[in-house]
Amino acid sequence: MKTAACAIIVSFLFLSGAQAQSTNDADNSAIEHVFNNARIIAGDGSVVEQGSLLVRDDIILAVGPAASMDIPATAVRHDLTGKTIIPALVNTHAHLGWEAYGDWGSQFFTATNLTDHLYRHAYYGVGTIISTGSDKEDVANAVKLEQLRGNIAGARYHLSPGMGSPGGGPNPRFTDDPDYWGVHSVADPEQAVRTVRELATSGVGIAKIWIDARDERRGAQVKLAPETYRAVLDTAEKYDIRIIAHATTLADHKTLASYGNRRFIHMPYDMAVDDEYLELVRENNIYIVPTLGMITKSELWYIPAFQDPYFADQVPASVLATLNENYNPPATNRSAAAEQRSAMLANNLLKLKDHIILGTDAGAVGDFFGYADHVELALFVRMGMTPAEAIVAATSRAAAAFGLNEVGSLRAGKAADFVILDANPLDDINNTRQISDVYLRGERVDREALRARWTLSN
């Protein structure tokens, strides 16, 4: 256990509702705010140059050329000349609560730490986060409730309880606890039906299934059987629960898709996708979270977080030192097989690009909350997507995949969750890092205060 990391978690206090809502502007929620002269990337593929964004409370009232909208004389005006507005990002794959920056473990899964992770996402412009299948549900539901009551700001939190074969589920590296495994066991179709019904009764809207044999610690190495995950999918459909499936092989993806699964964590990593699969993906409007960040760490161009100023400026030096100590640089002589595999993965990504959505796996294996989202966006583009395509994948499409209709695009009636950038990400996707301000629920996120809190090194 790293004491420095622990001290940060212990010292992190819940922000009260009043603190969470403090802004630089007059804090009068009855007043409209209008953001003028900005390039507005709406998230759905459209762009307005010299546009205005009109907001009241936590809702967008209008988006477009200023001349096209009725701006109240009392509106607070913000001149964003030279700046770009994008929707706050929507991350559909992370594991909140376990990470203490430099260490992982069940003992860190507290309301305080979970809340901190919501603020870390907000700091980096991520407005919505789906934590996939590893959350301690009692703690998680309490935090979610406090957020709905307005007492916790940060990224909008969605949890998705997990199901797997007995002993299967989350990677034991980050959930290593002899008394807690963090997943609902579904050994057979009957148990699958029962479990999904129980989740529905407790109000679950999103759930995850692990198909792979992920039971390294318990040693059984049992995959989830097709008849069992079919029962999960059929029952979830009845109760309107959106399932996301962890699967990494082309064969499993095909079987899942043919059983009606519409959301995948990971793309096929084992071989090139074929026409049969692409047809299934197109016909069923399937969404795929490729999670490239975790599979590119062996690349020579990979920059570890502790060497990247964009990460380093929001953690104490002790965390950077720990990460540096534990870092295994990639081999300088890459095999022909490794080169081939990289090319195959990039090719898969491009064939699936109209179905790709953002997810990072942050919190599991050394990808850091919020920071990893910008790394993933850059990887989308490095592997051949355009910046415009990458932004759609990280906003409107990611929201649509889970029916999160209030977020993901800048349109009248949508949530006022947006990021103001100092440079245009359509020119260079790395410009998503040039954050001037983040607004969530119409309130400015106090990034300076968060950074000050996080960089205390005691």
CB of 247 to Zn ion, least distance (A): 12
What minimum distance in Å lies between the beta carbon of 364 and Zn ion? 5
Q: What angle do CA 96, 100, 106 make, to 5 degrees?
A: 65
Cβ pair 258, 280 in contact under 8 A: yes
With respect to Zn ion, which residue has the nearer C-beta, 103 or 361?
361
| Tokens coding 44 | 């759905």
Of residues 175 and 396, the one with the C-beta less far from Zn ion: 175
Record the tokens describing residue 309, joined without a space.
Answer: 């100023």
Which of residues 113 and 134 has its CB atom nearest to Zn ion in the complex? Answer: 134
Closer CB to Zn ion, 116 or 361, in the complex? 361
Q: Which is nearer to Zn ion, 371 or 439 (CB)?
A: 371
| Minimum distance from residue 417 beta carbon to Zn ion (Å) | 24
Rounded to a whole number of angstroms, the minimum distance from the CB of residue 6 to Zn ion is 24
Name the residue nearer to Zn ion (CB basis): 83 or 214.
214
Shortest Cβ distance from residue 92 to Zn ion (Å)? 10
Q: Are 93 and 130 in contact (CB under 8 A)?
A: yes
Specify the residue, 361 or 446, whose C-beta has the smaller distance to Zn ion.
361
Distances (CA, A) of 388 to 46, 391, 393, 428, 430: 9, 5, 9, 10, 12
Please return the burial class of 195, using the count of CB atoms within 10 Å of its CB with bins 0-12, 13-18 and 19+. Answer: buried
Q: Give the span between the Cα atoms of 397 and 391, in whole angstroms.
A: 9
Stretch that binds Zn ion, among 140-148, 344-352, 360-368, 388-396 (CB under 5 A): 360-368
Would you mind telling me the total number of residues written for the chain in this entry?
458
The Cα 207–Cα 130 span in angstroms is 10
Q: What are phi and psi of 210, to 5 degrees?
A: -100, 125
Nearest position to Zn ion, beta carbon: 361
Where does this chain touch Zn ion (CB under 5 A) — which range of 53-61, 104-112, 215-223, 357-365? 357-365
Helix count and strand count (H, E) for the chain: 16, 17
Residue 106 CB neighbour total at 10 angstroms: 17
Are the C-beta atoms of residues 271 and 347 closer than 8 Å to each other?
no
**Window of 21-29, 123-131, 151-159, 353-361 that interacts with Zn ion by CB under 5 A:** 353-361
Stretch that binds Zn ion, among 149-157, 279-287, 354-362, 385-393 (CB under 5 A): 354-362
Is 212 among the residues that bind Zn ion (CB under 5 A)? no
Find the shortest distance in angstroms from Cβ 166 to Zn ion: 19
Closest distance of CB 131 from Zn ion, Å: 9
Residue 245 CB, nearest distance to Zn ion (Å)? 12
Residue number with CB closer to Zn ion (32 or 361):
361
Q: What string of DSSP letters covers 401-450?
A: HTT-TTSSS--TTSB--EEEESS-TTT-GGGGG-EEEEEETTEE--HHHH
Using the contact rule CB under 5 A, the part of the chain among 51-59, 172-180, 358-366, 382-390 near Zn ion is 358-366
DSSP 290-324: --GGGG-TTSTT---GGG-HHHHTTS-HHHHHHHH
Indicate the residue among 87 and 359 with the shorter CB distance to Zn ion: 359
- Among the residue ranges 144-152, 356-364, 387-395, 449-457, the one whose residues contact Zn ion (CB under 5 A): 356-364
For residues 96 and 135, the answer to whether their CB atoms sit within 8 Å is yes
Task: State which of residues 361, 373, 389, 443 lies at the interface with Zn ion (CB under 5 A).
Answer: 361
CB of 181 to Zn ion, least distance (A): 15
Q: How far is the CB of 401 from Zn ion (least distance, A)?
A: 16
Determine the interface stretch with Zn ion among 52-60, 332-340, 355-363, 382-390 (rule: CB under 5 A).
355-363
Q: Closest separation between CB of residue 206 and Zn ion, Å?
A: 14
Q: Which of residues 181-200 bind Zn ion (CB under 5 A)?
A: none
Q: Of 172-180, 279-287, 361-369, 370-378, which segment contacts Zn ion by CB under 5 A?
A: 361-369
Nearby residues of 202 by Cβ (< 8 Å), 6 or more positions away: none
Count of residues that bind Zn ion according to CB under 5 A: 1
- Complete DSSP assignment for 166-226: TT-SS-HHHH--TT---SEE--SHHHHHHHHHHHHHTT--EEEEE-S---TTT----PPPH
| Residues facing 356 on adjacent strands | 288
Cβ-contact 72, 32 below 8 angstroms: yes
Residue 215 or residue 417: which is nearer to Zn ion going by CB? 215
Tell me the closest approach of the beta carbon of residue 93 to Zn ion, in angstroms: 6
Distance CA 245, CA 454 (A): 34
Judged by CB, which is closer to Zn ion: 84, or 291?
Answer: 291
Closer to Zn ion by CB, 368 or 454: give it: 368
Residues that bind Zn ion in the complex, under the rule CB under 5 A: 361
